[in-house]
């Protein structure tokens, strides 16, 4: 298939490369040109505008930072909705607001396009390995049409409901991940304060009911105070904002969601925006008056 890929950042570039490896023709567009050159050096094509990228494409994939970026790329003059031929399948894999996504679905449908929201979990390594978890919202037909593309970038691919529901599930994912990191961080500082040897302590905890993916995948780098991203605090801050707004829309009581949103915001305000989200540990350490993690 001919696939237009817009947004060739940390996630988008390796995803586009996996589509190339699977034999698709990929024509990339990105705000900064050097990313387009990187795609070209992997065998892809480059476009000078959204219109040029979308021209003749059967599928358009977007992987952009935030809601305003997705709105601009899709809905502005000469954007995807205006430029794509009728029946084109448009897949937005960025993490954005579910309500805006519902609106984009409606606008795409009136333009004769098929639209799927398909945000991902799994991070940069998942994008490189083609092993992302993909949460899809939209019609069954759009989902079925997107599967041959999605299977080349992910391994767990689930249609969770109609328009916007992929984004709603992603918001819940971000609540769970942030909350779990914060609790793991508090447990680590607690154990360290009591001079317990962390590695065996976390190993036994991970074998019981307290076991979780943060302990499995991040305990080692957290113990080593290795906070280079990974998933940036800036992006997680954005995602918790999406969660909070969507929770408030439905009157959902979420005290821990509110707390972890504030904690992520505080870490960002105090200079941690470009660190990995596991740097919540650094903040717990500092606010406990300690320096094992925050002193470095």
Nearest to ligand NAD of 8, 54 (CB atom): 8
Q: Smallest gap, in angstroms, from Cβ of residue 8 to ligand NAD?
A: 5
Per CB under 6 A, does 152 bind ligand NAD? Answer: no
Tokens (6 digits) for 55:
């021209």
3-state class of 153 per DSSP? coil
Determine the interface stretch with ligand NAD among 19-27, 62-70, 145-153, 190-198 (rule: CB under 6 A).
Answer: 62-70
Q: How far apart are alpha carbons 131 and 156 in whole angstroms?
A: 7
Q: Single out the residue of 14, 20, 24, 35 in contact with ligand NAD (rule: CB under 6 A).
A: 35
User: In angstroms, what is the minimal distance from the CB of 59 to ligand NAD?
Assistant: 17
25 φ/ψ angles, rounded to the nearest 5 degrees: -90, 120
Among 18, 95, 182, 278, binds ligand NAD (CB under 6 A): 95
241 is a contact residue toward ligand NAD (CB under 6 A)? no
Burial of 204 (0-12, 13-18, 19+ CB in 10 A): exposed
For residue 230, whether the previous peptide bond is cis, meaning omega lies within 30 degrees of 0, is yes
The least distance separating ligand NAD from the CB of residue 13, rounded to whole angstroms, comes to: 8
Give the closest residue to 72 by CA, choosing from 39, 110, 100, 52: 100
User: Active-site residue 170, yes or no?
Assistant: yes
Among 69-77, 84-92, 136-144, 252-260, which window interacts with ligand NAD (CB under 6 A)?
A: 69-77
| Neighbouring residues of 34: CB distance < 8 A, sequence distance ≥ 6 | none
In the 8-state DSSP scheme, what is residue 46? E
With CB under 6 A as the contact rule, the residue among 3, 4, 5, 7 that binds ligand NAD is 7
Site stretch for ligand NAD (CB under 6 A), options 8-16, 110-118, 141-149, 193-201: 8-16
Contacts made by residues 187-191, CB under 8 angstroms, sequence distance 24+: 188/222, 188/223, 188/281, 188/284, 189/281, 189/284, 189/285, 189/288, 189/290, 189/292, 189/293
Query: What does each C-alpha distance from 147 to 135, 140, 176 come to in angstroms?
Result: 12, 11, 26
- 30 touching ligand NAD, by CB under 6 A: yes
CB of 200 to ligand NAD, least distance (A): 30
The answer to the question of residue 231 lying near ligand NAD (CB under 6 A) is yes
Query: Which of 37, 52, 58, 69: binder of ligand NAD (CB under 6 A)?
Result: 69
Taking CB under 6 A as the binding criterion, the range among 25-33, 156-164, 217-225, 285-293 that sits at the site for ligand NAD is 25-33
Is residue 175 within 8 A of residue 243, CB to CB? The reply is yes
Q: Identify the three-state secondary structure at position 8.
A: coil
Smallest gap from Cβ 158 to ligand NAD, in A, equals 16
Structure-token pair, residue 251: 């009157």
**CB of 270 vs ligand NAD, minimal distance in Å:** 21
List the catalytic residue out of 35, 170, 218, 238: 170
Among 18, 94, 212, 283, binds ligand NAD (CB under 6 A): 94
Identify whether the C-beta of residue 104 lies closer than 8 Å to the C-beta of residue 75. Answer: yes
Q: Summarize as ranges the residues that interact with ligand NAD (CB under 6 A).
A: 6-12, 29-32, 35, 63-65, 69, 72-73, 94-95, 120-121, 123-124, 231, 235
């Amino acid at each position: 298939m001919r696939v237009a890929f817009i947004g060739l950042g940390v996630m988008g570039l390796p995803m586009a490369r996996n589509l190339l490896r699977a034999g698709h023709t990929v024509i990339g567009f990105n705000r900064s040109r050097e990313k387009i050159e990187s795609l070209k050096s992997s065998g892809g094509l480059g476009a000078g505008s959204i219109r040029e990228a979308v021209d003749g494409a059967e599928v358009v994939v977007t992987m952009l930072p935030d809601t305003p970026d997705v709105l601009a790329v899709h809905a502005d003059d000469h954007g995807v909705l205006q430029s794509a031929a009728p029946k084109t399948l448009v897949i937005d894999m960025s993490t954005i607001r579910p309500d805006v996504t519902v609106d984009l679905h409606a606008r795409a449908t009136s333009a004769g396009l098929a639209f799927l929201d398909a945000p991902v979990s799994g991070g940069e390594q998942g994008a490189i390995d083609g092993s992302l978890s993909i949460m899809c919202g939209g019609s069954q037909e759009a989902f079925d049409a997107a599967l041959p593309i999605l299977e080349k970038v992910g391994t767990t691919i689930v249609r969770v409901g109609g328009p916007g529901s992929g984004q709603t599930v992603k918001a819940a994912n971000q609540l769970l991940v942030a909350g779990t990191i914060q609790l793991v961080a508090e447990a680590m500082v607690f154990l360290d304060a009591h001079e317990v040897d962390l590695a065996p302590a976390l190993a036994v905890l991970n074998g019981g009911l307290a076991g979780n993916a943060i302990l499995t995948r991040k305990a080692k780098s957290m113990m080593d105070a290795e906070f280079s991203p990974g998933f940036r605090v800036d992006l997680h801050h954005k995602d918790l904002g999406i969660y909070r707004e969507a929770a408030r829309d439905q009157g959902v009581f979420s005290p821990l969601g509110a707390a972890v949103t504030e904690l992520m915001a505080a870490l960002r305000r105090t200079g941690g925006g470009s660190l990995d989200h596991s740097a919540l540990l650094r903040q717990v350490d500092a606010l406990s008056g300690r320096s094992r993690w925050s002193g470095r």
